[in-house]
Structure 1
Amino acid sequence: MHGAERGTADSRGRGGGDSRGAGDWWRRKSSPAKVETYTRWSFHFFGLAEFAAVGVPFGSGVWQGPVLWLPLITAVHCTLSVVTASRALDWTRGRRPRPVRLMVAFALVTAAVAAVALWTAEHGPGGKEVDTAAGGVFGVVLIFAACVTTLGVRGWRQALAVVAGYAAASGALALSLGAPAQAVLVSVAAVLIGGGFMATTSVFSVWLLDTVYRLDEARETRARLAVAEERLRFGRDLHDVMGRNLAVIALKSELAVQLARRGRPEAVEQMIEVQRIARESQREVRDVVRGYREADLGVELLGAQGVLTAAGIACEVRGEVGGLPSEVQSALGWVVRETTTNVLRHGNAGRCAVRVRVTDGKVVLTVENDGAEGADGADREGAKAGADGAGSAGGGSGLAGLAERLRKVGGTLEAGIAGDGLFRVVAEVPLVVKDPVVSEVHA
C-alpha cells in the first residue's frame, strides 16, 4: 500500500469510519460470533415482540384508564425477559453459571403479572376493551416466559416440562380467580400450544448456535492437524538426512579409533571422510530448514491446496510451473508456504486463489483470500517495509522475510487489501537469475 493509500486508510480509521463502522464491526466477527449475535438479538427482539403483542389493545384507553399499571408491569416483565435471555445464553456458551435465581425471580414475576392481568379481566374496572387487553397480557406473558425459561434448561424433556409447568400454572391461576371452566381450558391450551412453539424455537436456536461453534472448533482442529502433519513431514526429512549421515559418521569414527590404536595411517583418511560427511550433513540440514532441499513449486502448490482444503477453505490453483529455474521455484515456494500459513492462522478466510503466470520475462505468483479483516497487521506493515528495502536482512519469517528472500533473486513482493474483504500477495521473480544469493551461515 502506498503512502497516500495508507494515509487514507488511517484517516478512515480515526475519523472517517462513521459510515462503515457498523459494517466493519460485523465483518470483523467470525462466523460463529455472527450467528451468536443474531441469536442473542433475536431473543432481545422477543421482548419487544411481547410488548407489541399486548400493546395494540393498550391504545384503546388502557393507558389513560384506571388500570394504567397493566402496561407498566408488562414493560417490566419484557425488560426482565430480555435480561434473563441474555444471561441464559451466556450460560449455554459456558461464560457464566446457570442463572437459577434470576430464572426463579423471572417465573415469580411472570406469575404475578399473569395474576394481576387475570384479576383485571375478571374483577377489575373497565369494559370489554380492558378485559380483552388484560386477557391478552395473561396469555402472552406466560407464552413468552416459557420461551425464555427454556433457554436455561438442557434437553427436550426439560423444555417440555417447562412448557407444561407454565400451562398448568395458567390453569391454576384461572381457577383460583374464579374463571369459568371453559376459559381455564382455553388458557391452558393456548399456553401449551404457544409456549410449545416458542420453546421449540429456543431449543433449536441454542442447538444451532452450539453446532456452529462445534463446527468452527472442528475446522480449527483440522487446520492444526494439517500444520502438524506438515511438521511431521519436515521431521521425517530431517531424520532421513541426519539419521543416515550420523550412522555413517559413528561407524567411520569407530573404525578410525581402531586404526589409530594399531598405528595404521588409514585412520587419517577415515577422519577426513568423517569431516567431509559432517560438512555435507551440515549443508543438507541447512537446506532442509530453509526449504531449499529439492525445492519444487508444484509440490508446494499441491501441499498448500491440500492443507487449505483440509481446513475447510476452498482453494483454487491455476498456472503451469514446469520448466522454471530451481532458484525461482525455491523463492516462490517459500511464498506459497508462508502465505498458506498466514491464511490458516489469521483471518476468517473461506476461499483462497493461487495463480502462477509468466509474463515479460518474469514469473508472477498471486495469492488472494477473502479473510482480509483478520489478516495480521504486523505482517502487512512488514511486507511494505520489506518491499521498500527496509526489511530485515536476516530473511526472517513473515511477509517481510519473504520480501528479503525475493530481493536476493531480484524479485519483489507486494501485499495488502485488494477490494472489499480481500487480501492479496503478489510476488514477482525474473526468469533469469543473474546472481542468486543463498547465504549459508555456519553454526
Structure 2
Amino acid sequence: MARLTGWWHRRSDPARIELYVRSSFHLFAVIEVFALVVPTAGALGSAWARSVLCALVTVHAVLCAVLSSRGIDWILARRERPVGLLATVVVVSVAGASAAALLHTAGSLRQGGQAAVIAVGLLGFGLGATVLGVRGIRASLCWLLGAVVGAAVVGALLGQPWAAAAALAFAVLVTGGSMVFTSLCSVWLACVVWELDAAREAQSQLAVAEERLRFGRDLHDVMGRNLAVIALKSELAVQLARRGSPGAVEQMVEVQRIARESQREVRAVVRGYRGADLAVELAGALSVLRAAGIDGQAHGVGGGELPVQVQAALGWVVREATTNVLRHSEARSCTIRLTAGEAAVLSVDNDGVPEARADGVSADGVGADGVGADGSGSGLDGLAERLAVLGGSLDTESGAGAFRLTARVPLPGPQARTGTPAPAADRRGAAV
C-alpha cells in the first residue's frame, strides 16, 4: 500500500493542490469529448461527418489540456508563455464552431440544436484553456466578450434568425463565463497556496536566522572582552620579551589562563548552560511557531522552579526541537509538554514529517536523527550528549507522519519537583 500511495505522500501540500488543479483541467478534456461526441453522433447523416466530428473534438480537447498545463507553468513562472499553442487553440475553436454551423447548413447535421451544442462546447472549453495563456481579469473578460460577439456574428452570417443568433451568443456567454471563472479560480488557488508556502519558508528561515543572531550575540558577549584582553597582553608580552624583561613570562601565563577560561565559556554557550529561563524559551518557541503558521501549544508546568542546569538543558532542547520542526517538516501542529516529578520530562510532538527513504534520510536530506545527510550539524545526537552530562536521556518516536522528541532529566530533590503552571496558549500558539 505504501508503494501505491507513496507518490502522493511524498508531495508537499502545495504540490498536491497543483496536481489536483492539473487533473481537473485534464478531466475537462475527457468531459468535452463525451459531452460533444456521444450526444451528437446520432444526429450526423454520414460516417464521414461522424469521423470529422470525433477527430475535431478530440484534437481540440487534447490541445486545451496541453495549453492548460503549460499555462499553469507560465503563471507559476516556470516556463515561457505558450503563445503558439494559445493561437492554435483559438484557431481550432473558431474553426470547429464554424464547421458545426456549416454542417448544419449543408444538411449533414440534421438537428440545429446539436450544431449549437458543438459550437458552444468548443468555444466554452476553448475559453477555459485560453484564459490560462493571458494575465489579468480584464484580458480574460475581453476574450470572453470577443467569443460572444463572434458567435453572434457567425450565426448571423450563416442566415440564422436574430433570435437564434442571440441565443447562441447567450449560450456562449454562460458556458464560456463558467469555464473562465472555474479556470481563474483554480489557478488562483494554486498560486495562493504556493505563495503561502513560500511565505512560510521565509518565516522559517527568519526564525532560524534570529536564533543564529542570538547565539552570535551570546558568543560575542563571552569572547569579545576576553579576546581584547588576550590581544593586549600578547602585545605587552612581545614588548617585554624584546626588552629582555622577565615580566613577559607572567603576561603569557595570564594569556594562557584567559584562553582556557574563554574555552570553558564557549563550551557553556554552545551547550546552552548559561542559565537560560525555560519559560522564556517556551514562550519564544510558541511565538516562532505561530509566525510560521503552526498551531503551537504548551501544557504542563512552566519550569520556573526547576534547577538552573535543568532549565538550561531543557531550554536547549526546546530551541533545537523548534528549529527542526520549522526546517525539516511541514507541521500543522506542535505540542510541547513539560512535567516534573522524580525527573523533568519534556516532550515535543509534531506532525507533517516527510516520508523517509530506506537509508533513513528524508526527501529534504535530513536524517532520522535530525542530522544532515553529510553528517553535519549537532542534531539529536548533540542534544543527547548535553543531557547525558546531567544524567538525562533523549528518546525519539516517529510514525504515520508524526514525530515525538522526549527529553528526561532527573531532579536532585523534592524541592525541585514543583513548578509553576505554564501560560495558556491559544490555538495559534500565542501565550495569554
Fold shared by both chains (TM-score > 0.5): yes
Change (3 A) 1:161 1:313: same
- Once residues 394 and 405 of structure 2 are traced to their aligned partners in structure 1, the CA distance between those partners, rounded to angstroms, is 7
Task: Give 1:17's aligned residue.
Answer: 2
Paired AA for residue 335 in structure 1:
V
The offset of 1:201, in angstroms, is: 2.6
What is the rounded CA distance, in whole Å, between the counterparts of 2:60 and 2:49 in structure 1?
16
| Equivalence map 1:189-338=2 (5 Å) | 189-252=170-233, 271-320=252-301, 321-338=303-320
Partner of 2:149: 168
- Matched with 2:10 is 28
User: 1:303-382 maps to which residues of 2 (within 5 A)?
Assistant: 303-320=284-301, 321-359=303-341, 361-373=342-354, 377-378=360-361, 381-382=368-369
Amino acid paired to 1:243? G
Structure 2: any 5+ residue segments left out of the alignment?
414-432
SS at match of 2:24: helix
Kept in 2, the 8 Å contact 1:348–1:374? The answer is no
Shift of the alpha carbon at 1:79? Answer: 2.1
**What is the alpha-carbon distance in structure 1 between the residues aligned to residue 290 and residue 185 of structure 2?**
30
For 1:66 and 1:262, the matched residues in 2 are separated by 112
Structure 1 residues 211, 325: closer, same or farther in 2, change over 3 A?
A: same
Alpha-carbon distance in 1 for matches of 2:237, 2:211:
39
Q: Is the 8 A contact 2:43 2:109 kept in 1?
A: no
2:133 matches 1:148: no
Q: In the alignment, does 2:407 pair up with 1:424?
A: no
Q: Distance in 1 between matches of 2:14 and 2:383?
A: 33
1:81 and 2:64 aligned: yes
Aligned residues: 402
- For 2:355 and 2:192, how far apart are their aligned partners in 1? 23
CA distance in structure 1 between the aligned counterparts of 2:118 and 2:65, rounded to whole angstroms: 17
Q: Which moved more, 1:330-339 or 1:135-144?
A: 330-339
1:413 corresponds to: 394
Q: 1:28 to 1:17 in 2, by over 3 A?
A: closer
More displaced stretch, 238-247 vs 261-270: 261-270
Give, in angstroms, the shift of residue 373 of structure 1.
2.6
Corresponding residue SS for 1:179: coil
In structure 1, the residue corresponding to 2:296 is in which secondary structure?
Answer: strand
Corresponding letter in the other structure for 2:146: G
Query: 1:52: Cα distance to partner?
Result: 4.0
Looking at structure 2, the residues matched to 138 and 326 of structure 1 have their Cα atoms a distance apart, in angstroms, of 79
Give the superposition deviation at 1:145: 0.8
**Cα distance in 1, alignment partners of residues 181 and 18 from structure 2:** 18
Q: Secondary structure at the match of 1:428?
A: strand
Q: Using the alignment, how far apart are the partners of 1:317 and 1:352 within structure 2?
A: 9
**CA displacement at 1:369 relative to structure 2:** 0.5
Note the C-alpha offset of 1:189. Answer: 2.7
TM-score by length of 1: 0.80
Instruction: Tell me which residue corresponds to 1:49.
Output: 31
CA distance in 2, matches of 1:357, 1:288: 26
User: 1:411/1:371 Cα in 2 relative to 1: closer, same or farther (>3 Å)?
Assistant: same
Closer, same or farther: CA 36–59 of 1 in aligned 2, 3 Å: same
Q: Distance in 1 between matches of 2:252 and 2:48?
A: 108
CA distance in 2: counterparts of 1:257 and 1:407, whole angstroms: 43
* Structure 1, 403-412 or 232-241: larger mean CA deviation: 403-412
Tell me the residue number matched to 1:436: none
Change in CA separation of 1:226 and 1:29 when aligned onto 2, cut-off 3 Å: same
Q: 1:125 corresponds to which residue? A: 108
Residue 116 of structure 1, aligned match among 82, 91, 99: 99
Distance 2:179 2:43 in 1: 30
The change in CA–CA distance for 1:126 and 1:111 in structure 2 (over 3 A counts) is closer
Question: Does the CA-based 8 Å contact 1:395-1:405 persist in structure 2?
Answer: no
Q: Deviations over 1:344-370 (max 9, x none)?
A: 1112111111111124x2222111101
Preserved contact between residue 249 and residue 278 of structure 1 (Cα < 8 Å): yes
TM value normalised by structure 2: 0.82
Task: Pick closer, same or farther for the CA change 1:263–1:405 going to 2, 3 Å.
Answer: closer
How far the C-alpha of 1:154 sits from its partner, in A, is 0.3
Counterpart-to-counterpart distance in 2, 1:413 and 1:266 = 50
